[in-house]
Amino acid sequence: MNDCLFCKIIKGDIPSDKVYEDEEILAFKDINPAAPIHILVIPKKHISSLIDIEPEDEMLIGKIYSVINKIAEQQGVKEKGYRVIVNCGEDGGQEVMHLHFHLLAGRKLGEKII
Ligand code: 5GP
Ligand code: ZN
């Protein structure tokens, strides 16, 4: 997607602080961190939102969770724990319309909604 911010990050047109990359997935530090560790994990395939996941994406989404666990281990937060958040749509508070998983860690995350 030409006008998608995260597609531009994937292409390297916009710089990012990368922490993981393979042929299908990219992870980079959030520009406005909400915790000491705040990493965005995204599929390289442009999927706009959680609601747009197709059956053919199921393997990819599963792999994203494995990658999240790998990154958590690399970041040294495997034992202490972490939180994964996906905002979907307007009421979900999604601002960038390219599916992304927030990995938050490094402090006690107190603002529990559920
Ligand atoms: P959302 O609100 O859509 O769930 O999350 C979008 C996230 O992208 C926000 O946490 C925001 O700080 C982050 N973000 C927005 N623009 C950029 C950028 O240009 N670079 C990086 N690394 N993060 C960004
Ligand atoms: Zn995109």
From 40, 83, 88, 98, mutation site for ligand 1 pocket: most ligand atoms within 8 A of C-beta: 40
**CA triple 50-88-63, angle to 5 deg:** 35
Which residue has 């990493």 as its token pair?
39
17: confidence class by pLDDT, cuts 50, 70, 90 = very high
Distance between Cα 6 and ligand 2 center (Å): 5
- Residue with CA closest to ligand 1 atom 19: 31
Q: How far is the CA of 80 from the centre of ligand 2 (A)?
A: 32
pLDDT at residue 87 in the model: 98
User: According to the model, what pLDDT value does residue 25 have?
Assistant: 98
30 lines ligand 1 (CB under 6 A): yes
pTM: 0.97
Q: Is the beta carbon of 27 within 6 A of some atom in ligand 1? A: no
Buried b (16+ CB within 10 A) or exposed e, 74-97: ebebeeeebeeeebeeeeeebeeb
**Class for the domain spanning 5-105:** alpha beta
Q: What is the pLDDT of residues 75-108, one digit of tens each?
A: 999 999 999 999 999 999 999 999 999 999 999 9
